[in-house]
Amino acid sequence: MGVGMDVVPYDVPAWGVGELYFRAGKLLYHELPRAGSPPDDPPDHPLAERVLAYFRGERVSFEDVELEAEWATPFQERIAEALRSVPWGEVVTYGELAALAGRPNAPRAAGTFCAENNFPLVVPCHRVVSSAGLGGYGSLGAEYKRRLLALEGVDL
């Protein structure tokens, strides 16, 4: 994925294998766990430990994680900030997220940001739902999103 990048794989029982990508100490990208071969050694990184704790159902905060998001527009930065402020166990609609980011008439843009989110737990787009129900969750699907929300006590 690039020069000067560190990759930290992690294995979550009943979920699969994920990876954290860092550049210069900032989170560049995060892959949620899915079927795959577990790493040879357990993760030796504080963020990987927090991710594992999250998947054990512990209330974990990721608000202090520095993100490599120089690509983001000012609106995308506001969307990310708004998403990071949605508490554990709560959900917002795409329209509510857009309003929290200062653009109440931009729910599609909020949805596009969620679909392209490089930091799915740190910027918790699984906490954003459609006004008609659960909504999608990219290639991982709605059932994966439902499982993440169930970890947080949300039943949709």
List the catalytic residues: 125
Token couple for 47? 């963020």
Residue pointed to by tokens 């970890």:
151
Query: How many CB atoms lie under 10 A from the CB of residue 8?
Result: 18
DSSP per position, 94-139: HHHHHHHTT-TT-HHHHHHHHHT-S-TTTS-GGGEEBTTBS---GG
Separation of alpha carbons 47 and 35, rounded Å: 21
Token couple for 103? 């653009």
